[in-house]
Amino acid sequence: MVTTNLNLTLAGELVTIRPIRVADAAMEADFVRKLSPQTKHYRFFGGVRELSPGQLKLFCEVDGPHSMAFVATVQKNGCETEIGVGRYAPNSKADIREMAVTIADGWQHKGLGKLLVKQLIASARDYGVKQLYSVELTDNAAMRDLAHELGMSTACDPDDTHQVIYSLAV
């Protein structure tokens, strides 16, 4: 099980990648609140301004086998600040999980998404998950590039021509 912190230097700053905790709810809320409208659109496919208490609970209470999330953080003014999150959540099949990756606007295109997905892959393997997939908007070039870099397969969403499904056997 992936439970240790990963500390690395990225873009000249010390970044910590670690499992999310229930105590991170306020940090997660602040992270989403500060995302640009475009980044929120790509993550939530709609007009989410901030997360409800129920969404925060769902996003921060993970168990590993069914749901998992890793946050990337930096220290700003003596406080831990979230700059990215990668997560997977249950699917109707026991060994498949849907994943999502969100990176703060100022940290996009620096390799952080790939690092978060690699943590998700390691966790998924530890828990016997066989496949991760992500449903994305077709015009999300950053996710398209990340999916290509990770070797994910691509399929058109049969239910929505504005969406694409990326999948990866783990």
pLDDT of residue 92: 86
How much is the mean pLDDT over the chain?
Answer: 94
Express each pLDDT in 31-69 by its tens digit. 999 999 999 999 998 778 889 999 999 999 999 999 999
Return the CA Rg of the chain.
Answer: 15
> Which domains are delineated in the chain?
6-169 (3.40.630.30)
The model's pLDDT over 126-152, given as tens digits with 9 standing for 90+, comes to 999 999 999 999 999 999 999 999 999
| CA contacts within 13 A on the Cβ side of 139 | 6
Residue range 6-19, pLDDT digits in tens: 999 999 999 999 99
Nearest to 136 by CA among 152, 123, 125: 152
